[in-house]
Amino acid sequence: MAEIVIQNLRKEFGAFIAVQGSSFTIGDGEFFMLLGPSGCGKTTTLRMIAGLEIPTSGQILIDGQDVSRLPASQRDIAMVFQMFALYPHLNVRKNIAYPLVSQGVPRAEVARRVAEVARILQIEHLMDKGVGGLSGGDRQRVALGRAIVRRPKAFMMDEPLGALDAEFRETMAEELRALHDRMGATTVYVTHDQLEAMQMGDKIVVMNHGVVEQFGTPQDIYDHPATLFVADFIGSPAMNFLPFEGGFAPGDVSVTLGGAQIAVPRLHEATEGRKLVLGVRPEHVTLGETGALRGRVLASEYLGTSQIITVETAHGPIKARAPSGQPARLGEPLALSFAGPRLTLFDQSTGRAFLTDANAGVHHG
Amino acid sequence: MSGVSSSWSVTEPSKLSKWLAATLVLAYTLITLLPLLWIISTGFKSGPDSISYPPKVVFEPSLEGYVNLFTTRTRLGAEAFAALPPPETWYDRIVRQSGMVIAGPSRFGERFLNSVIIGFGSTALSIFLGTLAAYGFSRFKVPLKDDLLFFILSTRMMPPIAVAIPIYLMYRQLGLSDTHLGMILLYTAVNISLAVWLLKGFIDEIPREYEEAALIDGYTRFQAFRKVVLPQAATGIASTAIFCLIFAWNEYAFAVLLTSGKAQTAPPFIPTIIGVGGQDWPAVAAGATIFLLPVMIFTILLRKHLLRGITFGAVRK
């Protein structure tokens, strides 16, 4: 059980900056997601917490103790690797027992704890098999067993579901979350899959190009993205972006977009003379007879419980999530209206969201 | 999970082509094994049989060659020979048949032992140093890594014997001439480049995750190397060891140049048998046959490692 504090963490590989000045706190017992596209620095961050990479600068505190220069073996952290990394020359039982053997735990105690872990993970029937012939899911369970048998301060997981088949991933994700709820240990989980992050995480850090873009709960990150990158990366289909120009003052409650007045959450900042982007989630677009913008139906995708209707407008194509029963004929003219309190206004040059009534309380990167 | 590669041809080859392939392989095998069969059979021939023309394929086997290999013999005068007590052992009897008596053991045993000490000693040292160096080159940031690796390889770009004279002079100065240590160091120096390059290739293939898992599981870097990397590298170590041993075992030129007495290996010794009691081809062939055995046994013992695939299926790629 541990709280992990990351302070101004930075890692350079030669001229390449993998992580630049990250700071965030992983609460005790949290299921914490490091989310971002490949090459964004999330795995490097995880490896620095685990002790497999030494930071160029900055601190990692585990329960208040600075561990940033300690070797991995002294940090009392367990890790589950994407490729499982089970020791191929040992059978399942020995793989799980390995971390205990290194600590010199007495033989009887090792046997007892390995058996307990096998029961929790329901792999008792596999214990004497080699790891080579196991299925992906069973390998994953063995890797988890090797991690939990030690009762470490925290778990690091590097895309542990990435190597599994899609159908099995769902089941494993549920098992992982259930296991975490049962053990209550701090878990840091790296993924590039936004759905996985939303589904499992208590908190999410979104990273891009080595920079922390946003840090918060899944709800905050989805509803109030701090940057254009986060808005685009989270959500499927992605948020609609309507670029426009204009200047607005603190206290304004609407913006003018192509002559139409569109209600937005009350602004806390001035947007004087800048290029702006209005961000609208597809589910906050209503199609009907009247509305701020007009357009023609370009395409529709049927998703079962809902459908995505793409409407061509003067500001580019806009996707709307509509009930699956709503008729949408191609080429049909429609009006679009937006759910005002749910909109986000971005600065196009910096990509940052302006502070409004809606997102003022949300952490930014 | 299927272990069968998808690159197998889908159509079964015809019966004729299978037969043809088998015949070709068999014929080639026979041709390559012929010299070996010749040496082994000559070792069991009598002196006259060994030089008869056309060569005898069917002959009465004799251990004369082996006895001659391990003994020195003298010819006695007719009276002294007649006055001898009857031969006590089977090898006495064989020697008496050609009108001689055993004067003592030959040097072959010692020379063979020298070969074993120097061959296996230099192999062990090459593998020990080579594995550590290969691991370092494979896993750590080494300044001038590429240049160092090239430098190590460059020692192979000329025949080792090209430096025979400087080494001869150096060894005389250092007192390493005709010593086991000198020969072990020399063969290690020649083999180390091969060992580093081969082993680096094998260690590069071992995913780093295994060591990282061990590091996180509470092991030090060296423990992780010993308990996780070494078992994985067994295949590479075995095949590298075979290559090193074959070189050190068969090496002739340096052995002739640098050893004469107590550290002389078998390769320079075997030809000297020819000069001792006329052209004793059965003894030479017997020496060559015995000389072949250790490398053969070593290779057979390590065969299972050579054939086993590396890290089969434990990491999903």
| Contact state of A71 with B313 under an 8 Å Cβ cutoff | no
Of B152, B158, B159, nearest in space to B199 by CA: B152
- With respect to residue A357, please indicate whether it lies within any of the assigned structural domains: no
Could you say which DSSP state residue A297 is in? Answer: E
Residue B276 has pLDDT above 60, yes or no: no
Which site among B209, B217, B223, B310 would you substitute to test the A interface, given the most A Cβ atoms closer than 10 Å to its Cβ? B217
Q: pLDDT tens-digit profile of A301-350?
A: 998 889 999 999 988 899 999 998 888 888 989 899 999 889 999 998 88
Distance of residue B146 Cα from the nearest chain A Cα, in angstroms: 17
> pLDDT at position B48, please?
83
**Residue listed under structure tokens 């991933």:** A169
**Residue listed under structure tokens 């003894």:** B283
Show the tokens assigned to A145. Answer: 């067993």
**From the list B1, B219, B315, which residue is nearest A83 (CB)?**
B315
Which site among B216, B219, B235, B316 would you substitute to test the A interface, given the most A Cβ atoms closer than 10 Å to its Cβ? B216
- With respect to residue A353, please indicate whether it lies within any of the assigned structural domains: no
* A153 contacts chain B (CB < 8 A): no
Same domain as A134, residue A29: yes
| The model's pTM | 0.78
One-character DSSP codes across A2-47: --EEEEEEEEEETTEEEEEEEEEEE-TT-EEEEE-STTSSHHHHHH
Same domain as A236, residue A208: no
| Contact state of B216 with A72 under an 8 Å Cβ cutoff | yes
> pLDDT at position A203, please?
94
Question: Which chain A residues touch B225 with a CB distance below 8 Å?
Answer: none
H-run or E-run covering B288: helix B281-301
Question: Which chain A residues touch B231 with a CB distance below 8 Å?
Answer: 89
Same domain as A178, residue A128: yes
> pLDDT at position B53, please?
85
Question: Which chain B residues touch A71 with a CB distance below 8 Å?
Answer: 215, 220
| Contact state of A150 with B313 under an 8 Å Cβ cutoff | no
| Contact state of B213 with A87 under an 8 Å Cβ cutoff | yes
Q: pLDDT tens-digit profile of A263-311?
A: 889 988 888 667 899 999 999 999 988 888 899 999 999 988 899 999 9
Same domain as A250, residue A214: no
Determine the structural domain holding residue A237 and report its residue range: 228-347
Question: Which chain A residues touch B223 with a CB distance below 8 Å?
Answer: 102
Residue B313 has pLDDT above 70, yes or no: no
Q: pLDDT tens-digit profile of B203-212?
A: 998 989 999 9
**From the list B215, B228, B313, which residue is nearest A73 (CB)?**
B215
B172-211 residues touching A, CB cutoff 8 A: 207, 209-210
CA distance B102 to B94: 10
Same domain as A147, residue A15: yes
Share of chain A above pLDDT 70, in %: 98
Distance of residue A88 Cα from the nearest chain B Cα, in angstroms: 5
> pLDDT at position B315, please?
43
Q: Which of A223, A241, A275 is the last residue of a domain?
A: A223
Local confidence band at B310 (pLDDT 50, 70, 90 cut-offs): very low
CB A238 within 8 A of CB A357: no
Same domain as A173, residue A86: yes
* A349 contacts chain B (CB < 8 A): no
Distance of residue B155 Cα from the nearest chain A Cα, in angstroms: 31
Average pLDDT, chain B: 87
- Which of these ranges, A114-118, A339-343, B22-26, B309-313, has the smallest mean pLDDT? B309-313
Distance of residue B303 Cα from the nearest chain A Cα, in angstroms: 18
Average pLDDT, chain A: 90
Same domain as A284, residue A239: yes
Q: pLDDT tens-digit profile of B68-86?
A: 889 888 888 888 888 888 8
Same domain as A265, residue A173: no
- With respect to residue A359, please indicate whether it lies within any of the assigned structural domains: no
Same domain as A145, residue A17: yes
Phi, psi of A287 (to 5 degrees): -100, 135
CA distances from A236 to A38, A94, A222, A231, A241 (A): 18, 43, 11, 10, 14
Q: Which of A223, A258, A287 is the last residue of a domain?
A: A223
Buried b (16+ CB within 10 A) or exposed e, B184-211: bbbbbbbbbbbbbbbbbebbeebbebbb
Residue B140 has pLDDT above 70, yes or no: yes
Q: pLDDT tens-digit profile of A173-197?
A: 888 898 899 888 899 999 999 989 9
* A84 contacts chain B (CB < 8 A): yes
Q: What is the CATH number of the domain that holds A283?
A: 2.40.50.140
Same domain as A209, residue A99: yes
- With respect to residue A278, please indicate whether it lies within any of the assigned structural domains: yes
Strand partners, A356: A267
Domains and CATH numbers, chain B: 63-106 (no CATH), 109-307 (1.10.3720.10)
Question: Which chain B residues touch A163 with a CB distance below 8 Å?
Answer: 316
Domain count, chain A: 2
- With respect to residue A362, please indicate whether it lies within any of the assigned structural domains: no
> pLDDT at position B314, please?
41
> pLDDT at position B4, please?
47
One-character DSSP codes across A156-207: EEESTTTTS-HHHHHHHHHHHHHHHHHH--EEEEEES-HHHHHHH-SEEEEE
- With respect to residue A361, please indicate whether it lies within any of the assigned structural domains: no
Same domain as A239, residue A145: no
Question: Which chain B residues touch A78 with a CB distance below 8 Å?
Answer: 216-217
| Contact state of B316 with A103 under an 8 Å Cβ cutoff | no
> pLDDT at position B10, please?
67
Q: pLDDT tens-digit profile of B1-24?
A: 444 444 555 677 888 999 999 999
Distance of residue B8 Cα from the nearest chain A Cα, in angstroms: 22
**From the list A85, A132, A133, which residue is nearest B213 (CB)?**
A85
CB B140 within 8 A of CB B184: no
Residue A94 has pLDDT above 80, yes or no: yes
Mean pLDDT of B177-190: 94
> pLDDT at position B8, please?
56
> pLDDT at position B275, please?
61
Q: pLDDT tens-digit profile of A213-225?
A: 999 999 999 999 9
- With respect to residue A354, please indicate whether it lies within any of the assigned structural domains: no
Q: What is the CATH number of the domain that holds A56?
A: 3.40.50.300
| Contact state of A52 with B312 under an 8 Å Cβ cutoff | no
| Contact state of A78 with B216 under an 8 Å Cβ cutoff | yes
Same domain as A246, residue A206: no
| Contact state of A88 with B232 under an 8 Å Cβ cutoff | yes
CA distances from A336 to A62, A256, A284, A322, B255 (A): 50, 15, 10, 12, 93
CA distances from B249 to B253, B256, B297, B306 (A): 12, 13, 13, 20
Mean pLDDT of B255-259: 91
Q: Which of A223, A241, A268 is the last residue of a domain?
A: A223
Q: Which residue has the higher pLDDT, B129 or A257?
A: B129
Query: Scanning every residue of chain B, which has its alpha carbon at the shortest distance from the alpha carbon of A151?
Result: B217
* A173 contacts chain B (CB < 8 A): no
B223-252 residues touching A, CB cutoff 8 A: 223, 228, 231-232
Could you say which DSSP state residue B176 is in? Answer: -
* A150 contacts chain B (CB < 8 A): yes
Residue A5 has pLDDT above 80, yes or no: yes
> pLDDT at position A218, please?
94
